[in-house]
Amino acid sequence: MKKFVLLLLAGSAALLAADIQTDKPAGKIAGGPFVVNTTSRTATVVWIVQTDELTLQGPAGAKQRTSPSLHVEKTTLTGLKPNTHYDYGVAGQEAGKGFFKTAPANNDPAPYQFMVYGDTRTRHDVHRKVMEAVGKLQAPDFVLHTGDLVADGYDTSLWPVFFDIERDVLRHTAFFPSLGNHERNADYFREIFQADKPYYSFNWGNGHFIVMNSDIASFASSERERDAYWNEQVRWLEDDLKAHQGADYRFVIAHHPPFTAVARRQGDNPHMTALVPMFEKYHVNAAFFGHDHNYQHYLKNGIHYVITGGGGAPLYDVDKPAEGITMKVVKTENFVTVKVDGKSAHVEAISVDGTKLDQIDIHGGGQ
């Protein structure tokens, strides 16, 4: 059976890949299945298989380490019908069963629901409680993750933990992740989530979604290369926004926020703050971010900026809210639900105990 094999070693800085023939057993599903790159006509189902593991013993007295040998399996489905529910099964295993719904056709005002959360990288027990709270609600049509899925994108031992916690949610929806600084720009992220580039956009009915890579610090070691990469992405962003002015909604997702109530982080993301005039020029309705481990909501010149970084990482104080634009800041674990029905969108921020933290009503309708 032909497989694209990823030999993933914790802490390794390189991705080793080989297109080989192998008669090894299928192995156990160590991650997924989950669905990515979903459109109105196509979707890719991905699952991660563990076939072996490596043990590493350091000097005398050092703790032994184990690292799983994983590879990514995928299948891309085409010829699907828009806005349609599909069930699937992988490898004849109960753990491989799931479902997803395709996107409505472009500009179709059919109702849909999505969820947003992020910074799930540590405190796995808390991450699990957040996902249990998410699982109590109706399965969303898709999920947006604001980055920092794991604590170190190169450490393969962390990916099975992430997928184990997220399993019951992700196998019942479509998944659109953004790259956080803790992914460290690892090739594993692109392989696992079938992302040719860590910035991309997609349509869902009457909404247009832009997922940015705000972690330019991990892109390259030289400032010149980082600047060139960011300038290229900003040009792409403006072209993409300009081309989708006819959508009822334009949503932006990234890891690093342009504003924050965390005093020690203020001014840390000037590259994102510099985008605010462009967001206003091209009528972005709302933007979602992570990076700060709490809930924050700002309203500036008609655009809602929501930080939902409460997926499990240690919480940060909200000790210096921005004057004049702050709507709500809370130091708590959280996630966000968005229900879109035609030109009406309702946003709710929910804490890990199910308490409603905030609600926002957004009116869509192009420019």
Note whether residue 17 is domain-resident. no
- Ramachandran angles phi, psi of 299, nearest 5°: -130, 115
Supply the mean pLDDT for the chain. 91
Note whether residue 322 is domain-resident. yes
**What pLDDT score does 60 carry?**
81
Note whether residue 338 is domain-resident. yes
**What pLDDT score does 152 carry?**
97
**What pLDDT score does 365 carry?**
81
Tell me which DSSP letter residue 244 carries: T
- pLDDT tens per residue across span 165-194: 999 999 999 999 999 999 999 999 999 999
Provide the token pair at 93: 């295993």
- pLDDT tens per residue across span 253-293: 999 999 999 999 999 999 999 999 999 999 999 999 999 99
Q: Is pLDDT of 77 > 70?
A: yes
- pLDDT tens per residue across span 320-363: 999 999 999 999 999 999 999 999 999 999 999 999 999 999 99
Tell me which DSSP letter residue 268 carries: S
Q: How far apart are CA 228 and CA 215, in angstroms?
A: 14
- Amino acid, res. 217: A
Number of domains the chain contains: 1
- pLDDT tens per residue across span 189-244: 999 999 988 999 999 999 999 999 999 999 999 999 999 999 999 999 999 999 99
DSSP string, 110-151: --EEEEEE---SS-HHHHHHHHHHHHTSPPPSEEEE-S--SS
Domain range for 286 is 107-363
Tell me which residue of 119, 346, 126, 142 sits closest to 254, measured CA to CA.
119
- pLDDT tens per residue across span 98-135: 999 999 999 999 999 999 999 999 999 999 999 999 99
Note whether residue 327 is domain-resident. yes
The model carries a pTM of 0.90
Tell me which residue of 66, 43, 64 sits closest to 54, measured CA to CA.
66
Assign 246 to helix, strand or coil: coil
**What pLDDT score does 26 carry?**
57
**Mean pLDDT, residues 1-5:** 37
Note whether residue 220 is domain-resident. yes
**What sign for the dihedral angle of Cα 166, 106, 40, 179?**
negative
Assign 366 to helix, strand or coil: coil
User: What is the pLDDT confidence band of residue 65, given thresholds at 50, 70 and 90?
Assistant: confident
Note whether residue 313 is domain-resident. yes
- Using CA atoms, how far residue 213 sits from 166, 167, 269, in Å, is 22, 25, 13
Note whether residue 73 is domain-resident. no
Contact criterion met (CB below 8 Å) for 325 and 298: yes
- pLDDT tens per residue across span 9-48: 333 322 222 232 334 445 788 899 999 999 999 999 999 9
Assign 245 to helix, strand or coil: coil
Note whether residue 76 is domain-resident. no
Q: What is the CATH number of the domain that holds 264?
A: 3.60.21.10
**What pLDDT score does 367 carry?**
57
